Amino acid sequence: MTGGGLLVAGTTSDAGKSVVTAGICRWLVRQGVKVAPFKAQNMSLNSFVTREGAEIGRAQAMQAQACRVEPTALMNPVLLKPGGEQSSQVVLLGKPVGELSARGYHGGRQQQLLGTVLECLAELRGTYDAVICEGAGSPAEINLRRTDIVNMGIARNAGLPVLVVGDIDRGGVFASFFGTVALLSRQDQELIAGFLVNKFRGDVSLLEPGLDMLHDLTGRRTYGVLPFRHGLGIDEEDGLRISLRGAVRESEVSSPVGEDVLRVAVCAVPLMSNFTDVDALAAEPGVVVRFVDRPEELADADLVVVPGTRGTVRALEWLRERGLARALVRRAAEGRPILGICGGFQLLGEHIEDDVESRRGQVEGLGVLPVRVRFAREKTLTRPVGEALGEPVEGYEIHHGVAEVTGGEPFLDGCRVGRTWGTHWHGSLESDGFRRAFLREVAAAAGRRFVPAPDTSFAALREEQLDRLGDLIEQHADTDALWRLIESGAPQGLPFIPPGAPA
């Protein structure tokens, strides 16, 4: 027996597809439904490693958490990791299979992956009561429809009803809804069940006449109006669209436990990957996190984080061009705290031998840590566990660079020299005891009277956030009608809205 399904599409990128998908998943699992997320193709530098060692988008990992199930490669069979303006690494079923230009991917390779994508979706639907799928961009990308495997391509092949989400906070939501439907072919339109308004501010009664007119124009109903709420964005795909504190909790800054706040500056390197590593710092009361791109912005920081990047050599050049490299070297010499994570750890080393990512050969690093890095063609994808600063730590690794540590004190898989730490481990700061111990060291080195809160649980904050997403769906969407869609498919007899897709 095949489980029910739904595709959550959007009028635009960042309309709220990931959040709505997670909210529907959490609402369903609280009703006792066995549910899983799915995104056929994801383009993101924010990724995660599953327990079987597969790399998938972090948004799908968070949606799996909303479902209270373990994430697997089936939930995101195709992941594209941009390496620049012209090409992306293609990750298939959790493993890298090569680099392709956008033209090469959309010119044939994408369509070849449709069979794999459909097999993954069918396996999930054979295992779960319901699968909530997330689209990408807009389903009305008419230039890409022929090779589409993530929006109407997957909906048509799998017979999925489609719910279109629109961000009313941007304006123009009615035109976006109508135009999305009107640019689809007759067969695609038959699957567009209706709409969901996201990020509404104000009195819903003022919106209702427009929703009635939209129904008259399209023959399709609106399944809910979700109010605007701060701090509901789950792990983003494409960039820093929301504040870091807003990414993990309400936007109000909690008062510090001690007398001082702790200021964290994150270098906004090109092709930044897994910027969510610092979400756990932003979750701490009294910790202020900001992204910076100028050396003077490091001056009052108590901790500087150099995050991961898909282009270590490019990031190194960017740091030098902007004067940030000199500021980091000077900061390390002064014994002021720096944390390098993954690519950030690599560029703090002595030199990098890269014939894989940048193909630049040997490049001199910042020389802050006694580390030599060689890029291997095989990607490291692991979920390590260990201990640091007397506390247990868990993390995950996603990198081509192999580090040879020649000195310093051991720190996770990397090293520490003075007040500079480096590691390949993403997610280590989510380990509460370790994060508190690390912040105590940073505060002592910075001379701040900062005290970590004794009871901040990052996992509990994530659960609280996912429950709030489920509450939004339960309280502001027509859940009975949503369940009918999931169980029975799109309503029959939906009208065709001209002109339809261009020939």
- Residues labelled catalytic: 342, 426
CB 27 within 8 A of CB 66: no
Q: How many C-beta atoms lie closer than 10 Å to residue 188's C-beta?
A: 22
How many CA atoms are closer than 13 Å to the CA of 431, on its beta-carbon side? 22
Rounded alpha-carbon distances, angstroms, from residue 213 to 9, 40, 44, 172, 270: 21, 33, 37, 14, 45
Query: Please, which residues have CB within 8 angstroms of residue 176's CB and are 6 or more apart in sequence?
Result: 11, 12, 166
Interatomic CA distance for residues 411 and 373, integer angstroms: 16
Structure tokens at 447: 């001379």
Residues 354, 375 contacting (CB under 8 angstroms)? yes
Q: How far apart are CA 137 and CA 104, in angstroms?
A: 19
In order of 123, 141, 462, the CA distances from 159 in angstroms are: 15, 19, 33
Which structure tokens are listed for 1? 């027996």
Q: How far apart are CA 392 and CA 432, in angstroms?
A: 9
Q: Which tokens go with 453? A: 């809160």
C-alpha distances out from residue 420 to 12, 204, 414, Å = 41, 52, 11
> Measured between alpha carbons, how far is residue 444 from residues 152, 219, 266, 451, 475 in Å?
55, 64, 20, 10, 46
Query: Angle 204-218/173-182 helices, nearest 10 degrees?
Result: 20
**Residue found by looking up tokens 């061009």 in the block:** 321
